Structure 1
């Protein structure tokens, strides 16, 4: 019996927390003077701060008589009969955590309504207070009974009723919320047209070596190689100037100074930074004049002190700068990496140009023939509906057989081109990921009305399933506005009392 009561409490709270909480809220309003369960609340005289966290910077604190205390008491009373020596710790933590989360939700709802500018008319609050059972006598409100409460208690009760009405209005608005019938019809219309496609892809990897070397020859200063060593000081410029002077005057060797003083990852290697291309120093030495000075050092020359992101540094050239060896495959691939990261537009323009040449052939000779002559692999996919984001209720786009479409699902340009291009004609070329693509819509089918209506109907159920009480509850309990320190406070102050 005890286990079943505990299970029922958890089931009711987790399966439909707002309905269950609504019952608790009513109970709180009705029962002003509540009975605390022994050993589940701190001692009366305990001087402790039971602040379990903050929601939207509002403290979630247990103070006798406040919302958290009332909910904790109500939950504790509900669970009291199923509590024994063996399960006391478990039930206590469940009660306190449930009360904490309910308070988070309560504060969250009040804050949402406050920010929305919602105000409960005072006369409505007065009416609800007068209707409370504890103030009824012979079926009517008893002013005498009400005046038996001191002013502070009256004010607190009035505020509790006001907050409860605001929270109930929030819950009512959310539970009555329905998506527009036009929205369901719109989803049905999206699913109504299904297209199949052929596709030609021009991958970034096809960008030729000849284009890379031509770019490198026109930008030789970017890719000349330098072999440098450096000493870095992060503290102050005066210190590094003293080290530079010592090295220049022969007071210590560059390598010794690097190992002794340098404050970077190259200290142990005597300052040797290895061979780099000139463009790799752009972020390391932001000032262009200082960077050019370092890049043009002759072998053995030492630079003046230059500003670097971490502080100050000076460099020594281990070799005289050399032009990039464009016959070396590793060098060419390094330049390709530069283009991909910093000058991607040049490569994309080349891909688009090749795609446009293909389109001209396709319009003249046909898609399949043009693809065959250029050695392109034609890929087919579909049928798919206009399904941005791969909505689960109708046919989705899969990239399993066409990896070039891996990023297409949430790409607006892809969907616009796919469903605006005329049938049996090539689309305009466009960049998607690491490819330039040309789509060729093969055919389009319209679903039967029953299928469209079924999708629209299913969307209504889908929408409701994804806007349940639980998801709304998670809005607050998992909100970034919540600073959750519950378990820290619970284990510090409450667990030892069990």
Structure 2
């Protein structure tokens, strides 16, 4: 429950209800809560302490707080925001438990004077003055709940304030507490930002791989695109497949009836027809690729032996003749493109690597821009940036908004290549996303900004603490399962 400087009697009542009454949000009322005698589901445990959405629990209080915050900022409460509210509340509850445990183990006790200061704002009048009348009007149970909540809040916040500092505990602008950042540390981080490099980039999009190159491959590997008219029965257990095969062989059941009665149809439509019927697609579902010849070699109307596939055991039946590929049709050309993109990407990369090497040769003979114009190569300029893996916010960052630069800040090969070049040197071709690129280191610069945002470092400390605690062996996290099983309509 957040405290403000002034509360009217009406707002006091609202705050008390929000903080200490069990609020069941209408769109996420748990199914188990509507079942008489049903146990409240446990979202998880931290160090053996259960996290339940029940009246008076930290979890319920956090749900109420986040719900009020969302409404205060005009957020519409729907299934998405309810999930976010509960998820944030769960994480806050876990952090509260972890922080409180650490503080209690230290022997710290919340001073009564601090507890009093924490609860006084809830008994202020419209002018912000303490009102004994409001205090007397509150029931003893409400006062006790306020006292207990304030005490728990002080204990949990003590850990956060000691480690991450607090805006309320400063001498001038200097925090009293929190992890300290030495001048040497700040200088080290500032030095990381000093060397900055700018580049020109030539990009060869893999999407531009020519059709004639695709068809050259297709004609050399035409059998991959043979299309088969066949049906298939698939079951999980080999013994079941053997029984079905025996019944078909003894004419006790037709193949078609066996499809309807037994097949799980992993690789077929409802009538048993194989859904992906190119030869390479049939090969892909086989556990042993050597079995392909025994399937494709079936005569019309014949059935195969039992074949192990990726989803179990299958029996194939050849229903008609094979259709040889006609690569002049758009359907086959699309199929070839799909196959090459999925299974033969090195063909495309090798093709454009050769093109990139031609560009490098031309650029060395003339210059980067002239080579790009002559060979009709797309280029971009990359603004100066420091070596900053992941674009951490404490340093200047790489602009990844340009076409083809997505996630370049996480590409080790790209960064290593870029920061290994000498000024004006051209890189070897390298793959970045859907492009083969060539870099030229064109601009060297330094940053004179030696200021380091300490608040950013504190944010990293806090996020690191959250990450470690949420991965702790002490945490049993059932949030997703419990929420979707019990709190979704």
User: What range describes the TM-score normalised by the shorter chain of this pair?
Assistant: 0.5 to 0.7
* Separation in structure 2 between the aligned mates of residue 313 and residue 421 of structure 1, nearest angstrom: 55
* Separation in structure 2 between the aligned mates of residue 405 and residue 177 of structure 1, nearest angstrom: 36
Match of 1:460 in 2: 454
Task: Give the alignment's TM-score, normalised by structure 2.
Answer: 0.61
Give the C-alpha shift of residue 260 in structure 1: 3.3
Match of 1:206 in 2: 208
Match of 1:412 in 2: 412
Alignment of 1:36-115 (within 5 A): 55=45, 57-60=47-50, 104-106=97-99, 109=102
Match of 2:295 in 1: 294
Match of 2:234 among 225, 232, 245: 232
Match of 1:388 in 2: 389
SS at match of 1:326: coil
User: For 1:285-336, what per-residue CA distance to the aligned partner results, in whole angstroms no more than 9, with x for missing partners?
Assistant: 2123333211222222211122233332211112333443333333233233
Structure 1 contact 226–275 (Cα < 8 Å) conserved: no
Tell me whether 1:366 sits opposite 2:367 in the alignment: yes
Match of 2:274 in 1: 273
- Structure-2 change in CA distance of 1:285 and 1:409 (3 Å): same
Q: Which has the larger radius of gyration?
A: 1
Alignment of 1:122-201 (within 5 A): 172=162, 175-201=177-203
SS at match of 2:436: strand
- Structure-2 change in CA distance of 1:179 and 1:219 (3 Å): farther
Give the C-alpha shift of residue 477 in structure 1: 7.2
SS at match of 2:457: helix
SS at match of 1:256: helix
* Separation in structure 2 between the aligned mates of residue 340 and residue 314 of structure 1, nearest angstrom: 30
* Separation in structure 2 between the aligned mates of residue 268 and residue 191 of structure 1, nearest angstrom: 59
Structure 2 contact 95–466 (Cα < 8 Å) conserved: no
Tell me, which stretches of 5 or more residues in structure 2 are unaligned? Answer: 1-7, 18-38, 62-89, 110-154, 165-176, 483-489
CA RMSD, Structure 1 to Structure 2 (Å): 4.8
User: For 1:235-255, what per-residue CA distance to the aligned partner results, in whole angstroms no more than 9, with x for missing partners?
Assistant: x44443343344345444432
Give the C-alpha shift of residue 471 in structure 1: 7.8
Structure 1 contact 228–272 (Cα < 8 Å) conserved: yes
Alignment of 1:21-36 (within 5 A): none
Tell me, which stretches of 5 or more residues in structure 1 are unaligned? Answer: 11-48, 63-68, 76-96, 114-119, 130-164, 490-498
Alignment of 1:346-495 (within 5 A): 346-392=347-393, 395-400=396-401, 402-447=402-447, 449=448, 452-453=449-450, 457-467=451-461, 472=465, 476=469, 481-483=474-476
- Structure-2 change in CA distance of 1:404 and 1:215 (3 Å): same
Equivalenced residue count is 372
Match of 2:140 in 1: none
Give the C-alpha shift of residue 110 in structure 1: 7.8
Structure 1 contact 54–482 (Cα < 8 Å) conserved: yes
* Separation in structure 1 between the aligned mates of residue 295 and residue 478 of structure 2, nearest angstrom: 54
SS at match of 1:272: coil
Structure 1 contact 231–263 (Cα < 8 Å) conserved: yes
**Which one has a larger percent helix, Structure 1 or Structure 2?**
1
User: For 1:397-448, what per-residue CA distance to the aligned partner results, in whole angstroms no more than 9, with x for missing partners?
Assistant: 3343x2111121222222232233223332221110111111123322333x
Task: Give the alignment's TM-score, normalised by structure 1.
Answer: 0.60
SS at match of 1:271: coil
